[in-house]
A = this chain, B = another copy of it.
Amino acid sequence: MLQNAYVASNIHPRPQAEPPPFWLRPRAPQLACLAPADRMKVRGTIYAQEDPATFVYQVVVGMVRTVYVNRDGWRVVRDFHVPGDVFGFENAGIHTCSAEALGDVHVFRSERNSVEASAATDQSVAHSLWGWLLAAGNRAECLSLLGRASALEKLAYFLSDVADRMGATRRLELPMSRFDIGDYLGLSSETVSRTFTVLRGRGLIATEGRFVLLLNREALRQLGRELAVSAFNQKENGNAPNGDELRGVLPLQSRGMAART
C-alpha cells in the first residue's frame, strides 16, 4: 500500500520546544534518516527562484515561506513550511519559487541527487518520497479550492491549518506579515486585516502582537472545513452524489455558511 508507507519510518527522538514534536506526527520522517544531511541555521533567502535545484530541505525549527514571482512581477506565496515539512523538490532542474526563512530557521539539507539515489536502492526512502509528493499534491489541491472561498473562510482555514500543522492548540505564532498571508490566500493585506478584525469581533480569536489566541477552535475549523479535501478528514463519509446531479445548481459564494454579515 502506498498511503501509509511513510508513517512507519525511522524515528530519531530529539529535544525540541513545540508540542507535539514533528516526528510524532505522521507524514514526517526525518530527511536526515533517508540521506546524508547537514543541519544548518539559515536567515533570509535560502534559495532564489530559478536557482538550480541542487538541494532538498526539511524544516527543523522555525518557518519558511516559498514565494513565486511571475514575469509581470505578480507575487504569490506558495506555502508556509513548518517543522517537519520538506521543501525544494522540483520536477525540473531549477527551483520554481524562492524559499525565504521567516526569522531564524534551522533546516536539514540534503543533496537532491543523493536522495534520489537513495530512493532508487532503498524502497522505504522511495515510499517516503511518494508520500511527500502525494501530500504536496493534495495540499496544492486544497489551495486550489481556496480560490472559491470567501475571505472569512480563507482566513479561518489558514489559521486552522497552520495551527494543526504547528501542533498548536491555543496560542499560535504567525511570523509572517499580513501581506504574506494575503499573497498566500489571494487577498489584499487590507482584507486580511479586516477579516482578522471580524474574527476578533466574533470572539473566535484574540491577537497579541504576532501571536494569535485561538479562542474557539471548533468554530474556526467549521468556517474553513469545506476547503479540506475528504482524503484528509476521512472520519465521516457521507453519501456521495453524482457530479451531474449537482451541476452548477449551488451558489459559489454562499454555500451554507454559518453566518455572513
**Interfacial residues, chain A to chain B (CB-CB below 8 A):** 1-3, 45, 48-50, 65, 67-78, 89-94, 96, 98, 100, 116, 120, 123, 126, 129-131, 133-138, 140-141, 143-148, 177-180, 182-183, 186-189, 226, 229-231, 234, 236-238, 240-244, 246-248, 250, 252, 255-256
Contacts and interface: CB of A to CB of B under 8 A. Distances in A.
Contacts of A186: 147-148, 252
A51 to B, nearest CB: 8
A56 B92 CA distance: 25
One complex includes copies of this chain to the number of: 2
A255 to B, nearest CB: 5
Contacts of A236: 71
A140 B133 contact: no
A92 B180 contact: no
30 contacts: A1-B93, A49-B230, A65-B243, A67-B243, A68-B230, A69-B241, A70-B226, A70-B230, A71-B226, A73-B246, A74-B250, A74-B255, A75-B247, A90-B231, A91-B134, A91-B137, A92-B231, A98-B243, A100-B242, A100-B244, A120-B126, A137-B137, A140-B140, A143-B144, A143-B147, A148-B186, A182-B248, A183-B247, A186-B252, A188-B252
Contacts of A148: 74, 76, 147, 186
Nearest to A119: B126
Contacts of A126: 120, 126
A131 B72 contact: no
A135 to B, nearest CB: 7
A255 B74 CA distance: 7
A96 B237 CA distance: 11
A143 B178 CA distance: 23
A141 B138 contact: no
Given A49-B230, A96-B230, A100-B243, 9 more contacts: A45-B242, A70-B226, A71-B230, A71-B238, A74-B255, A126-B126, A137-B140, A143-B147, A188-B252
